């Protein structure tokens, strides 16, 4: 082990580790492992995050993925019998595909089973899910699965993975998440009925002989989100993903109590959301977002169209209350939005007056200043509801010059061009378009830097593992922890497929790795798209294709007529 004495950062020896790539593999225990051929993504390069005044200067080499990470030591490949192992199968080199595996002896606990949406270099792909080939031989050892909340990057892979692992494995989650999972399962009847057990805030769950957990409700953009205190033989692990603080009308923090309670439990390791670690300050209050939305409602002369994520149910609830105050009927555009609102209404999370909702076909019956249209598609997706409205493909809604269009969501990285095109199309038709860079119309569900530091201070862990995000996000989170007293040598930056050996007095990275490559869902096929297919698709998208059609005489081999040459993309 080499240590940088100036900065206290210990560097693990070089490891032979195959980086997760955009390749895919057949799902099953016999799936072959392939040697990745592509370089690691530029998002995990050696470029250091933005400097903070209180951070110690650290050379860029400490950010090099896998080889010179912030790691104290590297352990042999065999874990000691008294150790708990942690293996991320997704979520630590991307935003999405979240899935973590904890193992002790012959007992396995899983937290989350999410999907990732396709990227530019995965054309034709519907979803990307975790690779569970390492779990299949040990599926009987899986004692329970904890799901933290109902967003697809945490629940989306359940139908595909439970079909292989076994539907009888207990799934522990909250009421709203349970109903969202059950509704999604209706599209996968072959999986069988899932064994879902509902848990409540501060409830302790006995998962197995050696594992138990206490769940804590936390603030997020969807109700019923939880953090988990996982009690293990080596100590209690605080698993805190997708959370933030909110602020009441007096500016008091909402959501601190859960972390203060965790801080009383002598936390061994804190696993913490890194999505907004590079963002300074604190979260925008949902009360401020609500006020700004109401200001736009007050001055709108015609229809109001709000584009947003269908899963932002807390925001949806507030918008519906504003609509009631301004006597506007509400039409919903987007299947997932209708489904989620119905589920939330059934559970009492959204309460509205009778007669508030109308169909899109009924919109024309009301004066424009009495109509609100809630729509999905704020990311500029080509087949989503808002884009169809903008392009004149919705027979019931045609954009008018008196319309007010509000984007109550942030732009997911990579969608900037499509969102800009959508806004241009709406503006060309005369609509007034409002977005969050003009006024706060959205609040992220992920804690920024000051809140992350406060969470770390409240939980008071001995060790720290940043999760949920690209390498530079997790690097930034490790430095935040250093600012509040967690030395860098006690933080681990691990990648998907790496194994962390957790013992009472230390965390170490094993030389052993597991297969954490992408498994792609393409239509009805799961894991059927091999690397060569994706390479060909990308080549076709960039270079085009040439087709030659010729009719030959079988006996002489001569052309019977001139060949046809068809060119596309050149």
Catalytic residues: 273, 446
Give the Cα-Cα-Cα angle 243, 249, 250 (nearest 5 degrees): 100
CB 153 within 8 A of CB 126: no
Give the Cα-Cα-Cα angle 395, 396, 402 (nearest 5 degrees): 115
Other Cβ atoms within 10 Å of 328 Cβ, number: 23
Cα dihedral: 14, 20, 26, 28 (round 10) = 60
Task: Work out the burial of residue 530: count CB atoms within 10 Å of its CB; fewer than 13 is exposed, 13-18 middle, 19 or more buried.
Answer: middle
Q: H or E segment at 525?
A: strand 525-526
Alpha carbons 424 and 418: distance in angstroms, whole number? 10
Alpha carbons 540 and 535: distance in angstroms, whole number? 9
CB 152 within 8 A of CB 114: yes
Alpha carbons 217 and 438: distance in angstroms, whole number? 32
For the chain, how many helices (H) and strands (E)?
12, 30
Would you tell me the crossing angle of helices 335-346 and 313-325 to the nearest 10 degrees? 80
CB 169 within 8 A of CB 196: no
The maximal CA–CA distance of the chain, rounded, in angstroms, is 90
Q: H or E segment at 196?
A: strand 196-198
Q: Which residues of 369-407 are buried (b: 16+ CB within 10 A; e: fewer)?
A: ebbbbbbbbbbbbeebbbbbbbeeebeebebeeebbbbb
Give Cα 80 to chain centroid, integer Å: 33
Alpha carbons 151 and 171: distance in angstroms, whole number? 16
Instruction: Provide CB contacts within 8 A for 385, sequence distance 6+.
Output: 333, 334, 337, 375, 376, 377, 394
Alpha carbons 108 and 125: distance in angstroms, whole number? 30
Alpha carbons 303 and 305: distance in angstroms, whole number? 7
Alpha carbons 372 and 362: distance in angstroms, whole number? 12
Tokens of 5: 């004495």
Tokens of 423: 């806004």
Starting from the edge strand earliest in sequence, which strands make up the sheet with 142-146, in order? 74-75, 506-513, 498-503, 84-90, 99-104, 107-111, 142-146, 171-173, 196-198
Other Cβ atoms within 10 Å of 335 Cβ, number: 11
């Amino acid at each position: 082990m080499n240590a940088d004495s100036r900065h206290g950062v210990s560097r693990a020896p070089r490891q032979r580790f195959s980086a997760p790539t955009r390749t895919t593999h057949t799902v099953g225990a016999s799936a072959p492992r392939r040697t990745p051929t592509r370089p690691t993504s530029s998002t995990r390069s050696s470029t250091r995050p933005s400097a903070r005044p209180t951070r110690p200067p650290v050379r860029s080499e400490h950010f090099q993925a896998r080889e010179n990470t912030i790691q104290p030591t590297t352990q042999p490949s065999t874990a000691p019998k008294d150790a708990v192992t942690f293996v991320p199968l997704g979520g630590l080199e991307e935003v999405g595909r979240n899935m973590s595996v904890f193992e002790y002896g012959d007992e396995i606990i899983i937290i989350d089973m999410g999907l990732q949406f396709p990227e530019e270099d995965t054309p034709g792909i519907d979803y990307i899910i975790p690779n569970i080939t390492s779990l299949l031989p040990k599926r009987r050892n899986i004692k329970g699965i904890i799901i933290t909340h109902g967003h697809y990057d945490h629940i989306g892979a359940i139908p595909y993975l439970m079909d292989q692992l076994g539907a009888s494995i207990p799934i522990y989650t909250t009421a709203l998440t349970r109903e969202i999972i059950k509704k999604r399962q209706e599209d996968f009847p072959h999986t069988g009925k899932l064994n879902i057990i509902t848990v409540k805030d501060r409830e302790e769950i006995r998962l197995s002989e050696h594992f138990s957990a206490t769940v804590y409700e936390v603030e997020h953009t969807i109700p019923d989100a939880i953090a988990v205190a996982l009690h293990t033989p080596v100590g209690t692990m605080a698993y805190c993903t997708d959370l933030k603080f909110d602020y009441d009308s007096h500016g008091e923090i909402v959501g601190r109590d859960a972390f203060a309670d965790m801080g009383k439990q002598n936390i061994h390791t804190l696993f913490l959301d890194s999505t907004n670690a590079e963002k300074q300050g604190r979260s925008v209050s949902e009360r401020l977002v609500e006020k700004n939305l109401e200001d736009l409602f007050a001055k709108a002369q015609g229809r109001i169209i709000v584009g947003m994520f269908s899963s932002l149910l807390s925001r949806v609830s507030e918008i519906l209350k504003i609509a009631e105050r301004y006597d506007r009927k509400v039409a919903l555009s987007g299947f997932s939005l209708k489904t989620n609102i119905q589920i939330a209404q059934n559970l009492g999370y959204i309460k509205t007056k009778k007669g508030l909702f109308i169909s899109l076909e009924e919109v024309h019956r009301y004066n424009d200043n009495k109509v609100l249209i809630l729509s999905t598609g704020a990311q500029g997706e080509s087949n989503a509801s808002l884009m169809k409205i903008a392009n004149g493909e919705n027979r019931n809604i045609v954009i008018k010059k008196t319309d007010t269009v509000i984007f109550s969501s942030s732009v997911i990285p990579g969608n900037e061009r499509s969102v800009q095109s959508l806004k241009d199309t709406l503006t060309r038709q005369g609509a007034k378009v409002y977005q969050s860079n003009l006024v706060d119309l959205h609040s992220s569900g992920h804690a920024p830097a000051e809140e992350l530091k406060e969470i770390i201070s409240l939980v008071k862990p001995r060790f720290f593992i940043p999760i949920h995000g690209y390498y530079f996000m997790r690097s930034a989170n490790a430095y935040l922890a250093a600012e509040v007293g967690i030395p860098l040598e006690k933080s681990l930056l691990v990648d998907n497929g790496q194994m962390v050996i957790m013992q009472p007095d230390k965390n170490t990275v094993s030389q052993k790795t597991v297969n954490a490559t992408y498994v792609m869902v393409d239509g009805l096929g799961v894991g059927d798209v091999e690397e060569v297919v994706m390479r060909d698709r990308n080549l076709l998208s960039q270079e085009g294709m040439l087709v030659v059609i010729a009719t030959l005489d079988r006996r002489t081999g001569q052309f019977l007529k001139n060949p046809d040459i068809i060119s596309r993309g050149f």
